[in-house]
Amino acid sequence: MTYEIFGESHGPAVGVVLDKVPAGFALDMEEISRQMERRRAKGGLSTSRIEGDVPEILSGVYQGKTTGTPLCAVIKNSNTRSEDYAKTQNLPRPSHGDYAGHVRYKGANDPRGGGHFSGRLTAPLVFAGSIARQFLREKGVEIGAHLLQIGRICDTPFDPVSIPEALLRELQQEAFPVLDKAAGEAMKAEILAAASEGDSVGGVIQCGVSGFPCGVGQPGLDCVESVLSRHMFAVPAVKGISFGLGFDFAGKRGSEVNDPMRVENGKVICTKNNNGGITGGIANGMPIVFQTVLKPTPSIAKPQETVDLSAMENAELVIHGRHDPCILSRAAVVIESAAALALWEMMSGGNL
C-alpha cells in the first residue's frame, strides 16, 4: 500500500489517496475518527484554529468495505484566516519551509498558512495511517507512542524487551500520553511556561510496536530502518530518528550492548533489545522501538529576524497566526500513523 497526500492549508481541502489497498476489509470508521480526534486541535495547549476534520471518502469503499481500488478521502478546510498571512507573505518565517519552498517552487507555492508545508497535512496522514493500523491489528501488530521528552523533562522509556499490546492501546487513549504521570504534569508546565512567553518547545516521541513479525525487511535501501525513517521525516518538524539504544550506542562497548539470544518456549528471543527489534535491516521478532525528535514549533510570537523577499532586504517578523506552543501531544498519533503506513508497506510488499 502506498499513499499520496495533497492539499494546502488554506485551499479547499486536504486529502489522501491510498493505493494497493487490500480488498474486502471492513473499515472501523469510529476508530478512524477516534485517531483523527487525537490529532485535532482543541484549544488549551494547542492552536485556536479548530477544524471539524471529518474525512469524506470519495472512492475505494463500498458498503463499508474496502474495494481494493484506490481509496481517496478529503477533509475540507473551513476555519481559514488567510488575512493572518497576507501582510507577511514576503517575509519567510525562520526555520519554516517558506524560503526553501519559495526557491523550490519558483515563488508559485501557496503561502497561506504554510500551504502544502502546513501541519494541517498531517490530518490526511492520520486518516491513512488509521487504516493501515487496522490492517496491522488484524495481523496482531499494535503501535503506540509516548512523549519521552519535552524541554528538560523526561518520561520513563519503554522496557524494550516487553511492550504489551495493552499498554500501547492504553497510550492511544491518552490526550497527553506518558508512562510517568508526574513527568507528564511537569511537561505540561514546561509547555505553559513557553507559551506564556510567546515561545515554543521541542521534544522526543518514543514509539513502540508489538507483534511485528520476525523476518520482514531486508538489508540495503529497503531495510526496516530505512523505510521507517523515510516515513518519519515526512512528518513536519521531525529532525532525527534513532532505533533502540540509538545515539547512546556511541558511548558503549559491544559486550555491554549486544543483545544475547535465548530459546524460550521453543522460540528465539533476545534478553536485551538494544537494537530496537531490528538487526541486519530485518525485524527480528522483538518489539520495535524508535525515537523521533521534533523541533520546537518555529512559529513563535516573539519578533524574529528575517528578510523581505520582494525588496531583498532585512526585515523583522512578528507572527500573528494561531500556533501550537508544543506540537508533541498532537504529534504522537501522527508518528504512530506514519509508522503504521511504513510497517504495512513492508508487510504487504510480497515475495512469493
**Residues in 30-69 at the binding interface with its own copies, rule: CB under 8 A:** 56-60, 62, 65-69
Element (H, E) at 57: strand 56-59
- When the beta carbons of 170 and 234 are compared against its own copies, the nearer one is 234
Q: What are the start-end ranges of the E strands in 278-350?
A: 278-279, 282-283, 288-294, 304-308, 313-317
* Residue 266 CB, nearest approach to its own copies (Å): 7
Site membership for its own copies, residue 207 (CB under 8 A): no
Site membership for its own copies, residue 196 (CB under 8 A): no
- Piece of 82-90, 170-178, 179-187, 201-209 that binds its own copies (CB under 8 A): 201-209
**Residue of 39, 47, 98, 141 interacting with its own copies (CB under 8 A):** 98
**Residue of 29, 86, 214, 318 interacting with its own copies (CB under 8 A):** 214
User: What is the residue type of 94?
Assistant: P
Site membership for its own copies, residue 167 (CB under 8 A): no
- When the beta carbons of 7 and 144 are compared against its own copies, the nearer one is 7
Site membership for its own copies, residue 152 (CB under 8 A): yes
CA dihedral 282, 283, 286, 291 (to 10 degrees): 90
- Cβ contacts of 162-167, under 8 Å, gap ≥ 24: 162/287, 163/208, 163/209, 163/210, 163/287, 163/289, 164/210, 165/210, 165/211, 167/208
C-alpha cell at 212: 511485528
Q: How far apart are CA 92 and CA 305, in angstroms?
A: 10
SS3 43: coil
- When the beta carbons of 166 and 193 are compared against its own copies, the nearer one is 193
- When the beta carbons of 25 and 169 are compared against its own copies, the nearer one is 25
Site membership for its own copies, residue 211 (CB under 8 A): no
Total binding residues for its own copies by CB under 8 A? 150
Site for its own copies in 103-132 (CB under 8 A): 103-110, 115-117, 121
CB 227 within 8 A of CB 347: no
